[in-house]
A = this chain, B = another copy of it.
Amino acid sequence: MKEEIKKVEEQFHEYMKKIKSYGEAIGVMYWDLRTGAPKKGAEQRSEVIGMLSSEVFKLSTSEQMAAFIAKLGNHEIQAYISDITKKSLEECRKQYELNKKIPADEYKEYVILTSKAESVWEDAKNKADFAMFQPYLEKIVEYNKRFVEYWGYEGNKYNRLLDMYEPGVTVEVLDRVFGQLRERIVPLVQQIAASPNKPETAFLHKHFPKESQREFSLAILEELGYDFEAGRLDETVHPFATGLNPGDVRITTKYDENDFRTAIFGTIHECGHALYEQNISPDLIGTVLCDGTSMGIHESQSLFFEKFVGKNYSFWKRNYDVLKKYASGQFDDVALDDFYRAVNQSQPSLIRIEADELTYPLHIMIRYEIEKGLINGEMEVKDLPQIWNDKYEEYLGIRPNHDGEGVLQDVHWSGGSFGYFPSYALGYMYAAQFKKTMLQDLPNFDELLESGEGHVIREWLTERIHQYGSMKKPLEILNDVTGEGLNAQYLIDYLEEKYRRVYELA
């Protein structure tokens, strides 16, 4: 009996390896499409990606998979199989159940649709032409609404989509924590707007050649412990990190020659994602667990680095001179304190990925409310430009001039990612909560950054979070690391303390 189980277990691992292999091939092709694949081959490439994705879909919903779930899920044999097998099986079962409920043809059409929609979106965004993208988005929303019905849901329909990215988090939880955040952030943003102590920021916008920004980005990646033998840095319209396997975790960034912050803080953000994936335990390679456990935990790692490292005073105490070396002289007469205040400027703005850390959660809330509205049939795609602009005016007091800097700014919807945006805000709250715990172990956090020993911070995160991949669920990690559930208070305290100090508020 035991030997037979071992055999099935091995077959299951071989089967997962195949699924992961297809996934890796798809990952390479996506990366390639975005970093420089010739445009005329894109349509055919989308077909290939569609074909492989539908193979993954078939493998994850096959009778063979059903047999693995039945055999290895049997309670009597749990003592004989490894933890990795158990957790992998759990993941596979979840996918199996989600996928079995969608008709195979419909899923294939959807994959082809979203892969085409991404290039249409890019074009539409450049031309600030929502009408170009609208028919694609309408179809994508329709598919998602249909999928929610196929899957079934508890409470709000949107809960079903949230669960894909952040198991355990619901509309009820989000309404509560977003309410708490909004209650404290909106008045703080208003106080800052009224404050006379605004930082000088003109020097941030002096010309900074792309090539030098790239070199500085590479130097910072090195400093943060990004492993270049297991990754590379490229340029894309929308920055991302992609973990093909722990030995190949690539990041991309975007350069704005008149605002170096886009590239540098974007790179640090993606580096946080990459450090997570580069440091997953090698035991998990070839299994479905070799991945971040949720979007929110993933985002907690990227935001941890972007905000708590990249926007930290001690970090710049160390790296300001390095920046000056690569820059074109614009910082030479600027004191470190003034530089620090400038990069921590808070000002309502239109573009999410360029938003400062204080106003950022408001950008997320707007997207959250729109997604919830679309999925529940309370909003229509054609009205989005108007809705979007109105909400920006309401929450942030500013209005986009065109849809390229408005509703078309993010790639997510073109890829069908609904329920994803809240992860960014969740990740931010998780990160603040991790930081609070980390300070108990590493009270010298700031000194570590100042002396270039950031690796100690990375190791703390690897030991508690990275190495597990998807072996633990997000709220399980949060509890194991911090000893409590989701608590928005740590983020609120951090923002209050920091921005009152930066803006010298009462």
- Chain A: residues with CB nearer than 8 A to chain B? 17-18, 21-22, 24-26, 28-29, 32, 36-45, 47-48, 51-52, 227-232, 244-250, 285-286
Contacts and interface: CB of A to CB of B under 8 A. Distances in A.
Contact of A25 (B25, B39, B42, B228): B25
Contacts of A248: 37-38, 40-41, 44-45
A506 B303 CA distance: 78
A479 to B, nearest CB: 32
B247 A42 contact: yes
A44 B228 CA distance: 16
A21 B48 contact: yes
A43 B22 CA distance: 16
Contacts of A40: 227, 229-230, 246-248
A232 B48 contact: no
Question: How many copies of this chain sit in the oligomeric assembly?
Answer: 2
B247 A43 contact: yes
Contacts of A37: 232, 248
A48 B25 contact: yes
Contacts of A228: 38
Contacts of A41: 230, 244-248
A285 B246 CA distance: 35
Contacts of A244: 41, 44-45
A227 B18 CA distance: 36
A103 to B, nearest CB: 18
A39 B247 CA distance: 8
Contact of A24 (B22, B45, B245): B45
A287 to B, nearest CB: 12
Nearest to A282: B44
A228 B40 CA distance: 9
A23 to B, nearest CB: 9
Contacts of A48: 21, 24-25
A21 B52 contact: yes
A37 B249 CA distance: 10
A502 to B, nearest CB: 38
A337 to B, nearest CB: 38
Contacts of A36: 232
Contacts of A51: 17-18, 21
Contacts of A44: 24, 244-245, 247-248, 285-286
Nearest to A243: B41
A229 B28 contact: no
* Max count, chain B CB within 10 A of own CB: residue among A44, A47, A244, A247: A44
A231 B41 CA distance: 8
18 contacts: A17-B51, A18-B51, A21-B48, A25-B28, A28-B32, A28-B45, A38-B230, A38-B231, A38-B247, A39-B230, A40-B227, A41-B230, A41-B245, A43-B247, A44-B244, A44-B245, A44-B285, A47-B286
A230 B40 CA distance: 5
A125 B229 CA distance: 21
A225 to B, nearest CB: 14
A4 to B, nearest CB: 22
Contacts of A21: 47-48, 51-52
Nearest to A43: B247
A204 B231 CA distance: 37
Contacts of A22: 52
* Interface pairs A-B: 5 shortest CB-CB: A41-B248, A40-B247, A41-B247, A21-B51, A40-B230
Contact of A52 (B25, B47, B245): B25
Contacts of A229: 38-40
B25 A29 contact: yes
A173 B44 CA distance: 40
A250 B36 CA distance: 11
Contacts of A227: 40
A203 to B, nearest CB: 31
* Max count, chain B CB within 10 A of own CB: residue among A228, A244, A246, A286: A244
A248 B38 CA distance: 6
A244 B44 CA distance: 9
* Max count, chain B CB within 10 A of own CB: residue among A36, A51, A229: A51
A432 to B, nearest CB: 32
Contacts of A247: 38-44
A279 to B, nearest CB: 12
A201 to B, nearest CB: 36
A22 to B, nearest CB: 8
Contacts of A285: 44
Given A44-B244, A44-B245, 10 more contacts: A17-B47, A21-B48, A25-B28, A37-B232, A39-B230, A39-B247, A40-B227, A41-B246, A44-B286, A47-B286
A247 B22 CA distance: 23
